[in-house]
Amino acid sequence: MQTLNLPSHLDQSPEVAARFSKLKSRPVILDVNHLNKTFHTHTTLNDISLQVFRREFMCVVGPSGCGKSTLIRIIAGLETPTSGDVLLEGTQVSAPGSDRGMVFQGYTLFPWLTVKKNVMFGLEIGGRSSTESESEARQWIDLVGLSKFENSYPHELSGGMKQRVAIARALANNPRILLMDEPFGALDAQTRCKMQSYLLEIWKRVDVTIMFVTHDLDEAIYLSDRILVLGTNPSRIMEVIEVPVPRPRSSSQFLSPEFLATKARLEELIHGPEEAEAMPLPKIRLTHAGDDVE
Ligand SMILES: Nc1ncnc2c1ncn2[C@@H]1O[C@H](COP(=O)(O)OP(=O)(O)OP(=O)(O)O)[C@@H](O)[C@H]1O
């Protein structure tokens, strides 16, 4: 078998290295300190500490059950840690707040409200007048490219369009951080690719930091500045990878040596020997000896 001769994922071009030094010179927006979460007797998060910089795009990956959603839910204030704390711009997170926007995999729009009313909802709850909310909602709907659909109802939109509305609605409250938990997980592959490009475009135009949970390693590399890799047994941070792929990103980079090297490292961390050992299949055979497919 021919093996690819890949560079190390740690190799960075001068251009990429300069971008990371600029990123790290920005203020820390999110500070996670020695976070632990135990459900009954099961330790889901164990001593997780990390810092995210302002306007950084960080993806969170790891095997199923490693605590990705739990981490995001704690940052969102939807779950309380067993110990440790989360600071957003220096303020301790203890409950949900408008400084954090959330987009989930399931479509969470109100089906009885139009696109415009869905986006206006949080603004009106936050105390804005109807006129103010309407003009702000229009601006966000414009940003996600759905002006023509502002009077449509969610059932009249495709899955990708619904998620664009969900992004507009989350951004309308001017959150400091956007927390996205598998937001494109239910979309078909083509729509998913389009949504990834839309999201990068939106992120470039808004002063917001993004934490994005995904199972899709290509998606993580395509979107991220850094990738947080969580592991299980024991639960821990395995690595924080600085993605060496230059920006602006495009699908033509999927086969570039930097992209493939990062993917190989992620595969090694997530699907390495540890996972295979953790879940061995029982040696049961339901076919006749000699009737092998390989
Ligand atoms: N409310 C809860 N009560 C009890 N256990 C929970 C609760 N929420 C999460 N867990 C457990 O914590 C562990 C981590 O769950 P979590 O959903 O955070 O993982 P994940 O990495 O997001 O998984 P997946 O990739 O499959 O979505 C799992 O074992 C899960 O069963």
Q: Which pairing describes strands 209-213 and 57-61: parallel, antiparallel, or unpaired?
A: parallel
Whether ipTM tops 0.90, in short, is: yes
Is 25-99+206-270 assigned to CATH 3.40.605.10? no
Show Cβ contacts of residue 264 under 8 Å, excluding neighbours closer than 6 positions: 6, 9
- pLDDT tens string 148-184: 999 999 999 999 999 999 999 999 999 999 999 999 9
Q: Is pLDDT at 267 greater than 70 in this prediction?
A: yes
For residues 234 and 289, what is the distance between their CA atoms, to the nearest angstrom? 39
Q: Distance from the CA of 70 to the center of ligand 1, in angstroms? A: 6
Q: Which pairing describes strands 177-181 and 209-213: parallel, antiparallel, or unpaired?
A: parallel
- Maximum distance among all Cα pairs of the chain, rounded to whole angstroms: 75
- pLDDT tens string 129-142: 899 999 999 999 99
The DSSP string of 79-145 is S--SEEEEEETTEE--S--TTEEEEESS--S-TTS-HHHHHHHHHHHTT--HHHHHHHHHHHHHHTT
C-alpha dist (Å) from residue 199 to 94, 166, 192:
28, 12, 10
Q: Is pLDDT at 147 greater than 90 in this prediction?
A: yes
Peptide bond before residue 96 is cis, with ω within 30 degrees of 0: no
Q: How many DSSP H helices and E strands does the chain contain?
A: 9, 10
Cβ neighbour number for residue 265 with a 10 Å cutoff: 20
Show Cβ contacts of residue 40 under 8 Å, excluding neighbours closer than 6 positions: none
Q: Whole-prediction pTM value?
A: 0.91
Find the residues whose C-beta lies inside 6 A of ligand 1. Answer: 39, 42, 44, 62, 64-70
Q: Which among 35, 36, 43, 44 is the best mutation to test ligand 1's pocket, defined by most ligand atoms within 8 Å of the CB?
A: 44
Q: Which among 69, 78, 217, 233 is the best mutation to test ligand 1's pocket, defined by most ligand atoms within 8 Å of the CB?
A: 69
Residue carrying structure tokens 């949504």: 195
- Residue-level pLDDT at 283: 76
Residue 129 has φ and ψ, to the nearest 5°, of -70, 165
For residues 154 and 231, what is the distance between their CA atoms, to the nearest angstrom? 37
- Residue-level pLDDT at 221: 97
Residue 116 or residue 290, greater confidence: 116
Ligand 1 closest atom vs CA 215: 25
C-alpha dist (Å) from residue 56 to 12, 63, 162, 223:
18, 23, 25, 10
Q: Distance from the CA of 78 to the center of ligand 1, in angstroms? A: 14
Domain segments of the chain: what residues?
25-99+206-270
**By the 8 A CB rule, do 56 and 92 touch?**
no
Peptide bond before residue 234 is cis, with ω within 30 degrees of 0: yes
Residue 277's pLDDT band, with cuts at 50, 70 and 90, is low
Residue 282's pLDDT band, with cuts at 50, 70 and 90, is confident
For residues 114 and 134, what is the distance between their CA atoms, to the nearest angstrom? 12
- pLDDT tens string 209-258: 999 999 999 999 999 999 999 998 778 899 999 999 999 999 899 999 99
- Residue-level pLDDT at 275: 53
